[in-house]
Chain A
């Protein structure tokens, strides 16, 4: 097309020269500058909102809030953890499944995957004989705080590791093999374990 128009102005060459390389003085695309200044503005607003005025929660605050809420739920759960509640939990398939998963990741080491116990390591847990207390709350406390047996500390003391919610779930899983009212106390269990290697 003959009516092509030349540019309003030819690009200017900058006065400097480095290693013989010169550059034109050209505008960056406006949209490109928009992304640059846009991200600067966002960074400033983010900083103002999260760290200066603290009107918006940053990730750390959000995370802490979530952890607090979790802890609150656990503490609230502890208040209500009586025998009746634990029995009820043991009849909830979802809680039992959750407890079984925890058991299979941790407790099975000494009590065997099928709860039959391993001789010399951990008691059998699928019979009705209980050495350290025959109530659901006693089982919960034993998992949570650990046990002193024949003068030696034993058990997990898993409160810090698992937290109340999961300990309750494991308790529910153990109770799922038990019948309410038929858990007996035993002084110690000497019967040979099924899994005696």
Chain B
């Protein structure tokens, strides 16, 4: 019994097989059991699922709470219905208009999201939903007020009008295509960027992701899906009135996602089925509905905080573990190729100052790093080393002075633009995305190296796949380079500290930085890892990249760096070759202490 089960679970195409089987059943079912009522309910479910898939992109993956998504559906529904009934458009341009209008409004909704934190923003979207609800009833000249829009015709293709069954198949097809496209998209650089913006905006910008553009992208795309669902809603119901879109309509979709499992691909599907279908089956309990919802939600939060799909995943893993099967997927294979050379950039920091309130963090600091050189910045804790890195990579504004990379001024650029200009970096506390695999974290670093559009990613066009394969090969190569290939598929959050650092270096390298800045890469590394780090940095220098490293391990610095700058209290104390700086009396007393004797080893 257990062995047959194990053989079944080990079948590599299990998931795909189940999904295809499910699709076949859904496509064939109406021929056998397709009563008018069932088709109506099933089509409506499909429309709701579509809305929820779109909202899941924004909320589950993008982390933005929108309580106004139902209003976007209403806009799509009215746009399609009014053009079809009053202007006699056919369904196809009407649906397109519905998507464009919803997307346009979604774009407007996105704007406050850049200024407000999550919950204030959620309130704004709720207010927005109220405004739309008001417009639907009050702007009678356009919307026909409470009477609504009546007699919405069925979609037609080549003169043939869709029956209820055709509409069901059509909606089912759209749901399947949207899910496949969404899966492709989430597996691409856009999906990783979205999660990065949600979980660690600093890591996202350091990989060249523009927070503004990714958020707008998520809003617009999820709004367009809501608009499409609205158009389908209209033709399916044939009559729409403002009462179809009450204020809690929006809230329901958010609940659907939480119920199903936010940030999980199947979450909105399962959530919508349970949320909208169960009440249809339990019409006898109509008056108890809210109480049941409330109780179910409480239980869910307690026992399945990641929704029904999250709970199912947990059980699945437990089952596999019990049968002795691994829960870590196999590392994907990719073609092997040598690591390509990088043209190191020249860095010049001229007279840079920075004050925080009354404290001078940096006082007219100069730093020159020639192309391909490995340059260390050392100094006591609080002397401004990390501040200097943060100024170069754009996280702090420069009060005074100039910074140039390859002769191009960068001091007024945003962090993601500086990353795109070829400045990669790591952080003192590794900034990985804990819920993504190590490999996915490293792939995030390839965000700017890949050029394909979101559409070609969603459609999995050959050009996009080629690029993704190239990134994958490169990511695996760099993971090998830092000694983490065996752990590529584990969750990054489960790696020990030292290995998280190495993974972060691999992420920066995948972006092929002309200037790589490492903030205390050796902190917390074991002796063997230290050796590996030394080799790693030497290898990075061998590729040609310029490296700026903030580090307290002076032996490492002496081994791998040809230049050292010592800071103290925000000013340059000494600068030059390591043996000169480390024998400078001021540096020894301010920073090194009695225990460290760097010069003697070689002498």
Tell me if chain B binds chain A: no
By a beta-carbon cutoff of 8 Å, the part of chain A in contact with chain B is: none
